[in-house]
Amino acid sequence: MYTHDNGGAKMKKITKTLMSLGLILLLAGFLAVLEVFGDNKMETEAMSEKTMITERAIFAGGCFWCMEKPFEILDGVISVTSGYSGGSNKNPTYENYSAAGHIEVVEIVYDPAKVSYDRLLEVFWRQIDPTDPGGQFVDRGHAYTTGIFYTTEEQKMEAEKSKAALDKRGVFDKPIVTPIEPAQIFYPAEDYHQDYYKENPLRYKFYRSGSGRDRYLDEIWGKDRNQWSEHELKKRLTPLQYEVTQEDGTEPPFKNEYWDNHREGIYVDIVSGEPLFSSLDKYESGTGWPSFSRPMVPENIVTREDRKFFTVRTEVRSKHADSHLGHVFEDGPRPTGLRYCMNSAALRFIPKEDLEKEGYAEFLKFFDTK
């Protein structure tokens, strides 16, 4: 009399078993997909690494311990290795490299798609005293001299151009003597020299603080190692230009160079020359400062919150020089509704007729279609 009940129980049991098997199969399939996806991802990453085109740069800047970190922190740098180069013996060691004429160098392997050789040169110049032919700071002798060792003709041309431009800027009171020479065989230094600043932080800090390197570099480039040195800017800029761009100052209204300038042309950063604003977007705001409804090259403009003087404003700075330019307000004309209130002291005006001569020919088209 209970036959049909037993059958129902059996069916339920079979159904549960099938459902369990189905879940197991579904989970197994999902895991298989994940495994394939993971394998494909690893394979893709491995292929990407194999197909990546890398280049080498070799620099000498005195003690190689001090030359690793500035390059290792750059996006696109794959490795930085301390070593020796330029001498007469093979496989030099720390005990004999100097006697054989080698100098301390770093070899930088980098991805040129992410970081340029010119960028590496910029960083290099801000780590050394390129006017010293006898060593670097506390370390004296040929083994600690500076040098740029090119691996291609293109690197040679870029290095020579960079050196000439730096010399012309007048950053240093003495001429630059850092040589530019073809790279020779690079020999990696012993393991205990690699990443010394990481592996032996206390000893490294003690050495570096006593070497005189940072005192010199702070004096030339400032503590932030800016692209334009404090020494250079004080020579190039007027006291007002320096106060405005470097110390976030503000010039007086109606008593500045461009507040009532009506000529056609563009306005560039007084420090870097990066193009910022156009006369086509300049208007009379009645404030006594040059005002623009929008930037000509938005990517050269950086904004940040400014809470000085017990109020909240939006500060405007240049991207490359990091110059303080002024502030932007939401009371401008249509269509933007913005007022970029700039300091004349942070700008240099280039008339339309001089754009080609000054290297800004690409902006002539804006005035030709007016």
pLDDT band per the 50, 70, 90 thresholds, residue 266 = very high
Residues 269 and 346 placed together within one structural domain of the fold: yes
Q: What is the pLDDT of residues 39-51, one digit of tens each?
A: 555 554 454 445 6
Dump pLDDT digits (tens) for 174-212. Answer: 999 999 999 999 999 999 999 999 999 999 999 999 999
In this structure, the answer to whether residues 224 and 257 fall within a common structural domain is no
Per the structure block, which two tokens stand in for 338?
């913005």
Residues 195 and 253 in one domain: no
Instruction: State whether residue 356 is helix, strand or coil.
Output: coil
Residue 72 has pLDDT above 90, yes or no: yes
pLDDT exceeds cutoff 80 at 5: no
- The domain that holds 364 is classified in CATH as 2.170.150.20
**Structural domain containing residue 337:** 245-368
Please state whether the predicted TM-score (pTM) of the whole model is above 0.75.
no
**291 plus 357 within the same structural domain:** yes
What integer is the mean pLDDT of 209-229?
88
pLDDT tens track for 302-337 = 999 999 878 899 999 999 899 999 999 999 999 999
Q: Would residue 237 count as lying in a domain?
A: no
Q: Does residue 191 sit in the same domain as residue 62?
A: yes
Is 299 within a domain? yes
Do residue 266 and residue 135 come from a single domain? no
Let me know if residue 339 belongs to a domain.
yes
pLDDT higher than 60, residue 9: no
Q: Which of 32-36, 94-98, 221-225, 268-272 has the lowest mean pLDDT?
A: 32-36
- Say if residue 66 is in the same domain as residue 191: yes
Query: What is the number of domains present in the chain?
Result: 2
Is residue 239 domain-resident? no
Q: What is the mean pLDDT of residues 351-369?
A: 92
Least confident range of 17-31, 45-59, 206-220: 17-31
Same domain as 197, residue 90: yes
Q: How many CB atoms lie within 10 A of CB 133?
A: 12
Q: Is residue 262 located within the same domain as residue 338?
A: yes
DSSP string, 172-193: SSS-----EEE----EEPPGGG
Instruction: Report yes or no on 48 lying in a domain.
Output: no
Q: Which among 290, 298, 294, 305 is positioned nearest to 348, based on CA atoms? A: 290
Tokens of 75: 């996006």
Contacts of residue 222, defined as CB under 8 A and 6 or more positions apart, other chains included, come to: 229, 230
Considering the domain architecture, whether residues 199 and 341 belong to the same structural domain is answered as no
Residues 90 and 154 in one domain: yes
CATH number of the domain enclosing 113? 3.30.1060.10
According to DSSP, the residues that pair with 182 across neighbouring strands are: 150
75 band by pLDDT with thresholds 50, 70 and 90 = very high
Tell me if 276 sits within 8 A of 289, measured CB to CB.
no
* Final residue belonging to a domain, choices 198, 229, 260: 229
Q: Is 255 within the bounds of a domain?
A: yes
- Is 1 contained in some domain? no
Q: Is the pLDDT of residue 88 over 60?
A: yes
Which band of pLDDT confidence, cut at 50, 70 and 90, is reported for residue 173? confident
**Inter-residue contact 84 to 189 (CB < 8 Å):** yes
Domain end position, chosen among 204, 229, 254: 229
21 found inside a domain? no
Does residue 254 share a domain with residue 184?
no
For 123-166, the pLDDT digits (tens) are 999 999 999 999 999 999 999 999 999 999 999 999 999 999 99
CB 156 within 8 A of CB 150: yes
pLDDT value of position 244 = 98
Nearest alpha carbon to residue 314 among 325, 298, 300? 325
Q: Which amino acids are annotated catalytic? A: 63, 341
Contact 87, 216 (CB under 8 A): no
Q: Which of 200, 229, 258 is the last residue of a domain?
A: 229
Confidence of residue 18 (pLDDT cuts 50, 70, 90): low
